[in-house]
Chains A and B, each alone.
Chain A
């Protein structure tokens, strides 16, 4: 700048300039800030608060705000109140999340599904002799097997409770933030899903995929046939053979590509399972008694013993079922070696009963 240079040269020439180094200028600036705090706080105890307010005041001034110290104080108070509300809201949200979903911590430790309770035995399929005990964790892709007359209650940190019936072979197929998937090779698995985060929860068998977003339902898997029974909410059942997808509402079941109503007796059993306390270590002993009528695998042998007969059912389609007819009416409820099957009466060509 031309005029600046001229004036500076003239003032220097006549000894009117007293230059101060940049370092000293910085020290003067800091000394000024300290001095103002000292003068304003005097002998009072408010030194810390005045210092904070002035720091904020100068910060805002440098940002181009035109204000007084007291308006800076009000601004700071407002910001503080806002920050407090913000922290409280987020703390509450975090607290709620912690209660329902401790996925991050669980995943970091590699610990996912916890065995809450068991009645009888639950072992790794690869090592049948090594039983799992209470509070053990179940890891992804590991296959588990419940013993004959046994059942296991497990809890998933993402808000689900699983009850595996007797002789059930299952594995935790996938466990991530967005998706939980369980595969049942055979047996019975009841799921109570409380999923407030919209993550996908599915139970797969060789013939069906049952997908839910918060409901209570049971899946029974046998050789080539599966049964999906819904107590609460809605389950999307995809038939792997035909590729069709069915919406199964509460009080209905899905079997052999058809959606049929559940009997009241059956619903009562499922309700009992649904009311299982996932935090109670003795809960499995309380529910194991329901599995005589809940799952197909071991129930078939018991039914044979109980009824002393075997029914052979032939459908118009040529398909045949061998088992015990538990109930008749609009839908036949048949206990087979692969689980309970519901067959509409109009599809049945004939039934033959053989005494054992």
Chain B
């Protein structure tokens, strides 16, 4: 298959789109918890390699990627049997965005966050997570997601307003009270 044929297929176009959107997010998510750059690199690449093979069957890329991430992390650390990391803790933590469990303010915040992220588009969610949860600047986010700097600011603002509104509906009228 020639390069043109390979790149012109619909599956490749969709894969590149997903890759651009989620690679930095997945990598940051794994790396922030694993703490080892090479492990995080291997895990992220494995996730996207699997996505590449299954892209035609995947309907919800975000859910699929984070679901696959659990399996890949498990496989990775099974191979490295001498690792000191607690896989259960790691799994819960890595996919924390999709796990419930606490009944304090943190749970409320997380629930609101999850709801807002689910309700918003994939791109908006990726922007919000990179900026708020992994400390990316707007400029860095724009670079990683191949977006315009002003677009990133605009989308982040819209999502932040939604989150504050969601917290208000849950009884937290002033987020400053949580501090």
Contacts and interface: CB of A to CB of B under 8 A. Distances in A.
Contacts of A74: 4
B34 to A, nearest CB: 11
Interface stretch (A62-70, A159-167, A207-215): A62-70
Given A19-B134, A35-B23, A70 B148 contact: no
A18 B3 contact: no
B3 A50 contact: yes
Interface stretch (B63-71, B79-87, B118-126, B154-162): B154-162
Chain A, interface size category, equals: 35 or more
A15 interface: yes
B89 to A, nearest CB: 14
B7 A53 contact: yes
Contacts of A64: 148
Given A29-B144, A58-B146, A70-B13, A3 B6 contact: no
Contacts of B106: 14-16
A30 to B, nearest CB: 10
A211 to B, nearest CB: 59
A31 B41 contact: yes
Contacts of B135: 17-20
Nearest to A27: B37
A18 B28 contact: yes
A53 B16 CA distance: 13
A81 interface: no
A20 B32 contact: yes
A13 B32 contact: no
Contact of B24 (A11, A28, A46, A50): A28
A162 to B, nearest CB: 59
Given A18-B33, A64-B148, A40 B12 contact: yes
B29 to A, nearest CB: 8
A68 B13 contact: yes
Contacts of B134: 17-20
B132 A11 contact: yes
Interface in B1-42: 1-4, 6-8, 12-13, 15-16, 19, 23-24, 27-29, 31-33, 37, 41
State the main secondary structure of chain A at its contact with B.
helix
A73 B9 CA distance: 13
Contact of A9 (B2, B15, B179): B179
Interface string A24-55: 11011101100110111000101001100100
Contact of B6 (A6, A20, A40): A40
B94 to A, nearest CB: 10
14 contacts: A8-B132, A10-B178, A13-B178, A16-B106, A18-B28, A18-B134, A19-B135, A20-B32, A25-B140, A32-B23, A40-B52, A61-B146, A70-B8, A73-B4
Given A4-B131, A10-B178, A20-B135, 11 more contacts: A3-B157, A6-B164, A13-B178, A16-B96, A16-B109, A18-B133, A20-B31, A20-B134, A36-B48, A64-B148, A69-B13
Q: Which 10 A-B pairs have the closest CB atoms?
A: A18-B32, A19-B135, A70-B8, A3-B160, A70-B7, A14-B106, A32-B23, A61-B146, A69-B7, A28-B27
Interface of A: 1, 3-4, 6-11, 13-20, 22, 24-25, 27-29, 31-32, 35-36, 38-40, 44, 46, 49-50, 53, 58, 61-62, 64, 68-70, 73-74
Interface of B: 1-4, 6-8, 12-13, 15-16, 19, 23-24, 27-29, 31-33, 37, 41, 44-45, 48-49, 52, 96, 105-106, 109-110, 113, 131-136, 140, 143-144, 146, 148, 153, 156-157, 160-161, 163-164, 175-176, 178-179
